[in-house]
Chains A and B, each alone.
Chain A
C-alpha cells in the first residue's frame, strides 16, 4: 500500500505518473450478466454481512486495509460454511460464523459456534492444531490474535489465553505448516506495521487521507512452534537466519523449490518480499542451525524486473505454465503492475514474467488485494481473479459506474470510501503462462465498483466447480456462483495422513488426465487474509477419467494412486498408495 512507490514498467509507468493531468484508467469492456461465468448469489443465499469500516472519519489506516475470512466446513456436515472477520473494535459487531443449510442458504450461528471474536479483525487461518480431524481457526487482529479449537459439532472454544498466540501487534495473513516435521502444525503470522492511532496524514491538497505504510515502522513476522495440543511457542528469533523488520500482508506456505519441504513466501508492502526456504535448500540456514533462510533475492522472487520492491498485498501460487512447479502472482498498488514470477526451477529460481503474461497493464490502474488461481472453466488451465480497491483517494469511479449500465454501484457504501472503489479483474489462462483479460465474461464479479479486499475459492454448492467468496471494506461480503458454460470434467482431492488424522498441508498433488499432468499444492491459506479448506481442485477438460495421481508428501516420500472416474472427490490416505 505504499504511496509514491517506484514504478516498474517504464513506459507504462510514465503513462500514469509523470504527467501533470489526471489520467483515467482505460474503460474496461462492459461485463454483461447474460451468459456471465459468475452469478452473484449473496442475497439469494441469505448471506447478510456488512464489514464495519468507513463509518468513522479519522482515516485510520486499519479502516482501509479490510478484513478477510474463511471458507470451510466448520461443522463437518460436508458443505462449505462462511466465516467473516470484522474490523469493529469498539462496536457491537464481532466476527460472524454463517452456516450453510439446506437449499444453500446461510444462517448466523455465531453465538452457538463460539466464534464471535470481538477484536479488530484482519484475517483467518485454518489448521488442525490438535490433530483431531477437524479444522481449528486462528484469527489475526489489530491487537491480540485469537485461537479457537474446534470441538466438533459446530462448537469452538477460545483457547487464546493458553495458546501462547496473543501477539498484541497488527497481524495480517497467516498460514499453518509443519516446519519441524514433528507432525504438529506450526504457524507463520505476517505482521504489518507498528500502528499509531495518533498519527494522521493528508493528501497533496491537505485533505485528510489514510496514511500509507511508510508512515509507520514495520514489524518482524512471527513463527510459532506448535505443541500439538493447541499451545504454541514463538521461535522466530532462532528459526530464521536473520529476522527482518518488514510490512507483511500476504503469505503462502508451499513448496516452491521442489524439495517437498514447505517454504514460506511473504508479500510485503513496499519492501522486498521474502521466500523462507527450508534448510536443505538454504546453505546459510544449514550452517547456522536455523530452520529458514530467505532466498527470495537469490532466486529472483524478491523484486520485480526493474529490481524494485513493490507494494505487495495479496499472493497466489499456482502452476500457470504446466511445468509442475509453483509460480507466484502478487497484487499491487496502482501505478505498479500486478506481478507474475514464473518458476524456472532448480537453482535458477524465478523470472518476472509479467510483461509476457498479459497480466501487467490491467493492474496499473487498480490497487489489488485478494487474488486466487483456479480453473474456472475446467479446461485444465489456471485462471485468475484479482479484487481491487484503492488505499489512496482517486478520481471517483462511482459516477462513471452509474453511467455505465453494466457497472453496479454499492449504494450503501460509506461516503468516505466512495473515492476508493474500483472494479475487479478476471483473466483466463492459456496454460503456458499467458492470460487474457476476460472481465467482460465475469458479470457482476468484475462489474461491481467497491473496495474489495479478501477473496477465496471453494465449491459452495457442491457441483464440482469453484465459487467465490469476496470481502469488501465497509461493504457486504459477496458470494459468486460459478456458472461457466460448457465446463469440462473435474476432480477434487484430499490428501490425508491417517496417523495425523488430518489433511497434510504442504503436500503436492499431481493428477494425470487427458495426456497432461497438473499439480496443486495443499494449502489452507492464500490470497489476502483468507483461509480455505485444504482440498485441491482440478479441471480435467474432456477427460472422463484421470489416469493416476501422485502425491509428494512433505517428508519427501511419493505415492502413486490408481486411475478413476472424474467428477468426484477423492480422499488419498498416506501409506495406501504405491511407493508409500
Chain B
C-alpha cells in the first residue's frame, strides 16, 4: 500500500511537535526525566548534568559523567555520556558508552542513540540490529526512519521503502522521509509515484534544493516539461552552478520545442567544464593522498557549487575524520546538511562549530 501525502492526510497525521531531524529524534528530556535520573551520585545529580547538556555545556557535562562512570555508573549515566559524545562527534566513544547503557537497560530510545553512533561510523548492519530491537520495544516512526536510512546504506531498498512508508503513515509531514522515499522512487524509474512525496517534502521545506531537482526530473519523465522547467530554473536560481539542473533544463527546453534556448543552456553547461576540471583536479589530489584535509574541503566546496550535495557531504564527513576539531569543517558540514534538507543535523554542526570557535 502506498501512503497518500495529501495535505489533509498530513494534517491529520501531525502528532505533537514538528519533526526536526535525526538528532532531534534522539530523545533527551523524554528519556532522561525518569525518576532514576534524579538520583544523586557523588554530589552531581543526573538532572543537573542534563541541564548542562541542554545548556550546551557539553565538555563540563562529559567531565561530570566521566567522573560518575569511573565510579560505577548507572545505565542512565552511560546513556547521558553517550548522548553527550554524540553531540561532540566522538562516535566511537559514544558507541562504547551507549553499549554499556543498553546492556544494562535496553530502552528503545537508547538503542536508537546507539544506532546513530553506529551509523555515523558506517556500521549500518549493527545499527539496523539496534533499531530492530528498539522497534520491537516501541514502534516509533523515528526509529523506522533511522532504520530506513541504514537500509539504504546497505542496499536494502525494499526494506528502506517499507520503513519509509510506515514512518509516513504515522508522520506524513516528515520531510526527510518524504524526500528519501521520493528519491528512491525516482531512482527506480517510478517517476509518477515519486512526484507526490517530493511535492509534500517541498511543502514542508520549500528550500530543499535536492527535492526540487528530483521533482524536476520526475516531472520531465511524466509528461510535464513545464513543471520540470520551473523546478530546474528554481534550483539554478539558488545554485547557479548546479550542473544537473542546467543540463536537464536545456534538455527540457528542447522537448518543449524551444530548441535555441535549450541548445544555449547546454552550451552554457559545456562552459561549466572549468568547474568540472577543478573537481577532477581535487578528486585526484584526494585520491593520491586520502589524508589531504584541505583538498577534501576544497573539493567539497566545488561539489556544493556544482549542486552535488551528497558527494560534497561525503567529502566533508571524510574531512571531519581528519580534523575533528576544525570549526570550518563543521560550518561546511552545516551548509551541506542544509542543502540536503537536513536542518537539524545542520543546526547540530553549526552549534558544534560555534563551540569549537569559542573554545568550549
Contacts and interface: CB of A to CB of B under 8 A. Distances in A.
Contacts of A347: 254, 259
A21 B244 contact: no
A6 B122 CA distance: 20
A15 B153 contact: yes
A298 B266 contact: yes
A15 B157 contact: yes
B284 A214 contact: yes
A9 interface: yes
A397 to B, nearest CB: 16
B210 to A, nearest CB: 8
Interface string A280-312: 000000000000000001101001011100000
Contacts of A414: none
A16 B123 CA distance: 13
B76 interface: no
Contacts of A355: 186-189, 191
A20 B255 contact: no
A11 B244 contact: no
Contacts of B262: 298
A100 interface: no
B181 to A, nearest CB: 10
B154 A23 contact: yes
A14 B284 contact: no
A23 B187 contact: no
B7 interface: no
Contact of A11 (B124, B184, B247): B184
A4 B270 contact: no
Nearest to A283: B263
B121 A20 contact: yes
Could you say which of A15, A17, A303, A344 has the most chain B C-beta atoms within 10 Å of its C-beta?
Answer: A15
B183 interface: yes
B31 interface: no
B329 interface: no
Contacts of B325: none
A302 to B, nearest CB: 9
B248 interface: yes
B247 A303 contact: yes
Interface stretch (B46-54, B97-105, B195-203, B306-314): B306-314
B187 A11 contact: yes
A30 interface: no
Contacts of A300: 251, 254
A305 B123 CA distance: 30
A356 B187 CA distance: 9
A345 to B, nearest CB: 11
A21 B266 contact: no
B124 A21 contact: yes
Give the interface size bracket for A toward B: 35 or more
Given A347-B259, A348-B255, A6 B266 contact: no
Given A297-B270, A307-B269, A348-B255, A15 B154 contact: yes
A412 B65 CA distance: 60
B223 interface: no
Could you say which of B125, B153, B187, B244 has the most chain A C-beta atoms within 10 Å of its C-beta?
Answer: B187
B152 A348 contact: no
Given A10-B310, A307-B247, A356-B191, A15 B123 contact: no
Interface string B97-135: 000000000000000000000000111110000000000
Nearest to A204: B290
Nearest to A354: B189
A154 interface: no
A297 to B, nearest CB: 6
A307 B244 contact: yes
Give the interface size bracket for B toward A: 35 or more
Contacts of A354: 189
Given A11-B152, A19-B154, A305 B217 contact: yes
Interface in B182-232: 183-184, 186-189, 191, 210, 217, 221
Contacts of A197: none
B187 A4 contact: no
Interface string B291-304: 00000000000000
A498 interface: no
A18 interface: yes
Nearest to A14: B152
B327 to A, nearest CB: 24
B287 interface: yes
B57 interface: no
A133 interface: no
B263 A21 contact: no
A303 B263 CA distance: 15
A21 B189 contact: no
A332 to B, nearest CB: 16
Could you say which of A10, A13, A300, A344 has the most chain B C-beta atoms within 10 Å of its C-beta?
Answer: A10
B157 to A, nearest CB: 7
A220 B248 CA distance: 28
A15 B125 CA distance: 12
B66 interface: no
Contact of A360 (B156, B189, B290, B310): B189
B65 to A, nearest CB: 27
Contacts of B259: 347
A399 interface: no
Nearest to A300: B251
A92 interface: no
A573 B269 CA distance: 46
Contacts of A297: 266, 269-270
A305 B266 CA distance: 14
Contacts of A19: 122, 124, 153-154
Interface string A1-35: 00110100111111111111101001000000000
A305 B254 CA distance: 15
B81 interface: no
Contact of A298 (B125, B180, B263): B263
A307 B248 contact: yes
A18 B153 contact: yes
Contact of B254 (A10, A306, A349): A349
Given A15-B152, A347-B259, A349-B254, A10 B247 contact: no
A357 B308 contact: no
Contact of B183 (A11, A349, A361): A11
18 contacts: A4-B287, A10-B310, A11-B152, A14-B310, A15-B155, A15-B156, A19-B124, A19-B153, A204-B290, A214-B284, A300-B254, A307-B244, A344-B255, A348-B255, A349-B251, A351-B221, A356-B191, A360-B188
Across the A-B interface, the 8 shortest Cβ-Cβ residue pairs: A20-B122, A355-B189, A356-B189, A307-B247, A15-B155, A19-B153, A9-B187, A11-B187
